[in-house]
Amino acid sequence: MTPPTADELGLRLCHHCRLACDATAQHCPRCNTWLHRRKHNSIARAWALMMTALILYIPANVLPIMHTSSFTGDSDTTILGSVVTLWLDGAWDIALIIFIASVGVPVTKFLVLGLLLLTVGRGSERSRRDRTRLYRGLELIGYWSMLDVFVAGLLVALVQFGALGSIEPRIGILYFGLVVVLTMLATMSFDPRLIWDTEPHHE
Amino acid sequence: MSELSDLIICEYCDAVYQRPRLHAHQRANCRRCGGVLARPHLFHVDHLLALCLTAVLLVVFLGVSPVLVIQTQGQAHPATLFDAVWALTRGPTDLLALVAGFSVILVPLVQVALMSWILGFAHFRQKAPGFRGCMRTLTSLSPWSMLEVFLLGALVTVFKITGRIEVLPTLGLAALAGLSLLIIGMAGRDIHRLWDELP
C-alpha cells in the first residue's frame, strides 16, 4: 500500500517550516516562504554547478596547496603529495582521513550526483528508494571535505616564525575550497522528489 | 489549517501521512522512500534555552582562547579560530578566508545569537519579534555551519605536526567540541519544534 502524494491531495510542502500547505497558495501561511511544487530548474542548475566544480577540481589537485620554507629548503605540497608524505612517515591514519576528506568525498559526490542527474533526466523508474538514499548520503557528507582547508589555515597560523621556517597557503587550496562550496550548492539545487515523479499513477 | 498541520509530507518523495504520536526513541520513516519523517525532541524548550546560554558562554570563550598552542624553544605560539581564518589571507587565498570566516565564525555566531533571541521569548511562550525571519535564517544557515569540520581539522593538525614540535591541545579545543555538539543538536533539529509549539 503506497501512501498518497502531496500532488494527489492538492498539497505542497513548505521547504522552510515543513508545513503542509494548500497547493493553490503562493506563500506558506505560517512562515511566508514562496511555495514551489519542485525546485526551479533543479536539474540544469545542479548540472551547471557540478560541472564547474569538476573543472575546478583539476587545478585543486594539480596546483600546490601549501608552501613550506625551512633550513632544508623550500617545498610545495599538493593534496595528494601531503597524503603520500604522511603515509610514508607512518601516519597512515591521518593520511587516510585526509585522503577520504579531500579525494574520497568530492569524487563520491561527483559520481553520485552525476548518477542521480542522469537517471532523473532519463526518467528512470529503477530503484528509486536506493537513489533517494544516495541523495541523503550526499547531504550528509556535504561539507566534510572542507577539512584540508581548515588544516591549512591552522598550520599556517601556528607555524609562522623563524626556527621552523614558515608555511604559506597556495592557490590550490582556494580552488579546493570553491569545489566544496560548489558541490554543496549543486546538492542543494537537486530536488530528490524528481526521482519519484516518474511513478506511474494507478489509483 | 488545523487539519493541514496534522499532516506530514516527506521532503524526499512527497508522500503524505498523518502526523504520528512518537514515544522516546521512536522514529517515523517514510514507507515509500525510507526518509525520516519525524523524530522525538531531545529537549524541552526551557532546557534548550539553558543549553543556548551555555553556547553563548562557549562562543565568548572561543573568541579569546586558542584552540591549539605549539611550543618551540620555550616559547608558546597560540592559534585561535580567528588566527586560523586570518592565516588564509596570506598568499593568494583571501577569498578562501572569507569562506572559512563565514562558516566557522559568522554562521555559528549568528546561529547562537538568533537561537538566544527566539528561545528567550519562547521561555515566556511568546514568539520573538521577527520570529519568522529568524527561523528562516536559521534553517538556511544550518548547512553552512562547519565548526565540527574545523574541530576534526584541529585534531588532524595536532597529529600532523607532532614529532616536529610539541603541540598542546587546550581548553579551547574542548569548548569547540562542546559548541559544535550544541549547535548540531539545537539548530539542526530541536529548534524546529517552535514552529508547532508557539501560538
Chain A residues near residue B85 by CB distance under 8 angstroms: 153
For B53, the grid coordinates are 546560554
Answer whether A3 sits within 8 Å of B32, measured CB to CB: yes
Sheet strands (E) in B62-110: 68-72, 75-79
Q: Is A30 on the interface with B (CB under 8 A)?
A: yes
Contact criterion met (CB below 8 Å) for B113 and A179 = no
pTM for the whole structure: 0.90
Answer whether A16 sits within 8 Å of B139, measured CB to CB: yes
Chain B residues near residue A185 by CB distance under 8 angstroms: none
- Indicate the residue of A30, A157, A164 with minimum beta-carbon distance to B87: A157
pLDDT tens by residue, A96-105: 999 999 999 9
Q: Is A188 on the interface with B (CB under 8 A)?
A: yes
Query: CA torsion sign, B121 to B191 to B2 to A22?
Result: positive
| Strand, helix or coil for residue A94 | helix
Closest CA to B187 of B5, B26, B28, B51: B51
Q: Is A140 on the interface with B (CB under 8 A)?
A: no
Contact criterion met (CB below 8 Å) for B11 and A13 = yes
Name residue, grid cell 569545489: A179
For A120, the grid coordinates are 532523473
Q: Which residues contact B174 (CB under 8 A, 6 or more apart)?
A: none
Fill in the DSSP letter of residue B42. Answer: S
Backbone angles phi, psi at B82, to 5 degrees: -65, -40
Write out residues 103-122 of A within 8 Å (CB-CB) of B. none
Q: Is A38 on the interface with B (CB under 8 A)?
A: no
Chain B residues near residue A156 by CB distance under 8 angstroms: 84, 87-88, 90
Within 10 angstroms of residue B28's Cβ, the number of other Cβ atoms is 18
Higher per-residue confidence, B71 vs A47:
A47
For A182, the grid coordinates are 560548489
Q: What is the pLDDT along chain B (199 residues), one digit of tens a residue?
A: 446 778 889 989 888 998 888 887 888 899 888 888 888 877 888 889 999 999 999 999 998 999 988 877 777 888 899 999 999 888 788 899 999 999 999 999 999 999 999 999 999 988 899 999 999 999 889 889 999 999 999 988 888 877 667 787 789 999 999 999 999 888 877 888 888 887 7
